[in-house]
Amino acid sequence: MPLKEAPDAKERAQKVKIFIHDVHGAITPNVVYCDQEGNRYYEFWHMDGFGDLSLLANGIKPIFLDSTSIDGEGLYRAKELKLENLYYNTTPEEKMDKFEQILKENGVTYEEVGYLGSDVFDLPFLKKVGFAVAPADAVDEVKEVAHLVTTVPAGRGVMREVCEYILRAKGLWEAWVDKVTKMGYK
């Protein structure tokens, strides 16, 4: 059960055609590991990868939109998940332009977009989209505007939880679970 669920959250989730999220602070926890040479390392939760893959397999396009560099770890993770919709290294000023471009390229309206955000710089996006989602550890301002606040924090299965919520709202979850369990691991 989500920490917060707006009365119309399920209706909003039913309309989602694309789902946009950051890499840092969304599918990674809000932690950066650094070695003595200054190399940065992030952790990825396997369940989040399954969330993005599940959306993709059910006709909902997951899109990474990050204002920071995600070369290395983020590019590897996207390649591993076979995700092709990756936008990064945008300045905060460019991020909204890129967001608008993504909507135009995908032929979707704000109402058909889901967005996961955790901090105040995500507010302009969360306020525009049809389905705004915040992880459990998001700042209060973000939780206030979110239609759904997950039970888990960023990078700890948040995309897995969001995926299940959206697919259940669309009536696709049970068939997806059945398909996955019949496929097995090969």
The domain segmentation of the chain, as residue ranges, is 4-183
pTM score, whole prediction = 0.85
Q: Is 116 exposed, middle or buried (0-12, 13-18, 19+ CB in 10 A)?
A: buried
**Each residue of 33-51: b (16+ CB within 10 Å) or e?**
eeeeeeeeebebbebbbbb
Q: What is the pLDDT of residue 179?
A: 92
Runs of H (alpha helix) within 7-139: 9-14, 46-57, 73-80, 92-106, 123-128
For the domain made up of 4-183, the CATH class stated in words is alpha beta
| Positions in the chain short of pLDDT 70 | 1, 24-33, 40-48, 66-90, 184-186
Q: pLDDT (tens digit, 9 = 90+) per residue, 134-182?
A: 999 999 999 999 999 999 988 788 989 999 999 999 999 999 999 989 8
Q: What is the pLDDT of residue 94?
A: 83
* Phi-psi label, residue 171: left if phi above 0, alpha if psi -120 to 50, beta otherwise: left
Cα–Cα–Cα angle for 88, 89, 92, nearest 5°? Answer: 100
